[in-house]
């Protein structure tokens, strides 16, 4: 469906924004390009859309080279960040824009606009102007305006960024449902790791213009390949292990005996939800003091501090947990929960 081959891009007198990016998107796939701001993800999207040309590399859509084809000639449509709705046109006129340019018959346009309005649940709002709509409604108009052209590939640039928390969650589900039902190919750019993990079939983690890691959401979450990936996706505690003798290692909490052979020195990460507590000392458990309990509905977060002042973030289901600040407990770490990074 979409193929990028060694795309590189640098802006005038600047650092390269993208370095040798290659990727493939299958038909009907939902790919999320995830990364912090300034990682080049929006530039990548603009190159696919044809709003920007790469310095090097090629863009193929359905096997056809489109590297230097301008945006208006590509079978691709975009839902822009902040939606970029035309403020001087009504909702209907906004949605019809693409078809009008292609000189489609008026009656047919009217029919399709109607279909689109009902697809995105905006019946009856066709005569309104964008400034009379709420954030969620604007997003739907932007979606309808892009989808009416039946693009082979839909690009979404931070589609949820302008929505508030509860609406965002709802729209994530809705958008994903729409993509499944219409069997569309989506490439979405986002800085929100939760959103990427929740919506996409595959996630591409971009950092400093390079692909840091690529894989299914759970792969990225459970087996981050680099410290950046481990830090950016979800929360993590990092430990540094150095070999004492054989499989016995020293780390921030004390000593740890591994069952597998490992390099003499490495970093390992552990998710907060994998930090277990016990009131009694067991094997591979370390004394800590509980501080900063944060209640987050279903879960609570806490900070466990060792005698040396090293802090570990932990997460527990809120139910049936009697935890108090200042309490002295043991944290128990299992070898299987440690993700060895480097």
Q: Which residues lie near other proteins (CB under 8 A)?
A: 46, 49-51, 70-73, 76-78, 80-88, 97-98, 101-102, 129-131, 138, 145-146, 149
- Comparing CB distances to other proteins, the nearer of 131 and 296 is 131
- Comparing CB distances to other proteins, the nearer of 130 and 224 is 130
- Comparing CB distances to other proteins, the nearer of 23 and 144 is 144
Distance of closest approach, residue 68 Cβ to other proteins, in angstroms = 15
- Comparing CB distances to other proteins, the nearer of 6 and 82 is 82
Name, in order, each residue with C-beta under 8 angstroms of 192's C-beta and a sequence gap of 6 or more: 34, 160, 161
- Comparing CB distances to other proteins, the nearer of 46 and 274 is 46
Q: What is the C-alpha separation between 194 and 173, in angstroms, rounded? A: 13
Q: Are 113 and 126 in contact (CB under 8 A)?
A: yes
Distance of closest approach, residue 58 Cβ to other proteins, in angstroms = 20
Q: What is the C-alpha separation between 126 and 296, in angstroms, rounded? A: 40
Distance of closest approach, residue 46 Cβ to other proteins, in angstroms = 8
What DSSP string describes 127-170?
Answer: TS-GGGS-HHHHHHHHHHHHHTT--SEEEEESTTTTS-HHHHHH
Name, in order, each residue with C-beta under 8 angstroms of 61's C-beta and a sequence gap of 6 or more: 1, 2, 3, 74, 75, 76, 152, 153
Distance of closest approach, residue 72 Cβ to other proteins, in angstroms = 5
Burial 125-153 (b: 16+ CB within 10 A, else e): bbeeebeebebbbbbbbbbbbbbbbebbb
Strand 328-332 relative to strand 276-278, pairing: antiparallel
Distance of closest approach, residue 281 Cβ to other proteins, in angstroms = 60
Strand 265-270 relative to strand 276-278, pairing: unpaired
Distance of closest approach, residue 35 Cβ to other proteins, in angstroms = 20
**Tokens representing 70?**
């301008």
- Comparing CB distances to other proteins, the nearer of 147 and 204 is 147
Distance of closest approach, residue 95 Cβ to other proteins, in angstroms = 10
Look at residue 19 and give its three-state secondary structure: strand
């Amino acid at each position: 469906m979409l193929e990028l081959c060694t795309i590189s891009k640098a802006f005038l007198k600047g650092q390269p924004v993208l370095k040798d990016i290659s990727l493939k998107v299958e038909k009907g796939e939902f790919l999320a390009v995830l990364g912090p701001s300034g990682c080049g993800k929006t530039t990548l999207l603009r190159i696919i859309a044809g709003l920007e040309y790469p310095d090097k590399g090629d863009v193929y859509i359905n096997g056809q080279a489109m590297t230097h084809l301008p945006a208006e000639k590509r079978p691709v449509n975009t839902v822009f960040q902040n939606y970029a709705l035309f403020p001087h046109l009504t909702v209907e006129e906004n949605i019809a824009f693409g078809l009008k340019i292609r000189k489609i018959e008026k009656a047919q346009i009217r029919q399709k606009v109607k279909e689109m309005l009902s697809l995105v649940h905006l019946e009856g709002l066709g005569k309104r102007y964008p400034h009379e709509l709420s954030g969620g409604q604007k997003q739907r108009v932007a979606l309808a305006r892009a989808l009416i052209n039946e693009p082979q590939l839909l690009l979404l640039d931070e589609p949820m960024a302008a929505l508030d928390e509860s609406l965002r969650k709802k729209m994530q589900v809705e958008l994903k449902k729409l993509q499944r039902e219409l069997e569309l190919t989506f490439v979405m750019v986002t800085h929100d790791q939760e959103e990427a993990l929740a919506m996409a079939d595959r996630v591409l983690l971009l950092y400093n213009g390079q692909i840091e890691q690529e894989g299914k959401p759970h792969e990225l979450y459970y087996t981050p390949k680099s410290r950046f990936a481990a830090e950016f996706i979800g929360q993590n505690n990092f430990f540094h292990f150095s070999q004492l003798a054989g499989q016995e290692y020293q780390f921030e909490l004390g000593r740890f005996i591994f069952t597998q052979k490992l390099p003499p020195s490495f970093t390992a990460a552990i998710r907060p939800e994998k930090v277990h507590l016990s009131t009694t000392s067991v094997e591979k458990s370390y004394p800590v003091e509980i501080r900063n309990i944060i209640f987050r509905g279903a879960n609570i977060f806490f900070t466990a501090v060792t005698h040396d002042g090293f802090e570990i973030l932990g997460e527990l289901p809120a139910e049936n947990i009697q935890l108090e600040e200042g309490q002295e407990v043991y944290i128990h770490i299992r070898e299987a929960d440690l993700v060895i990074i480097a």
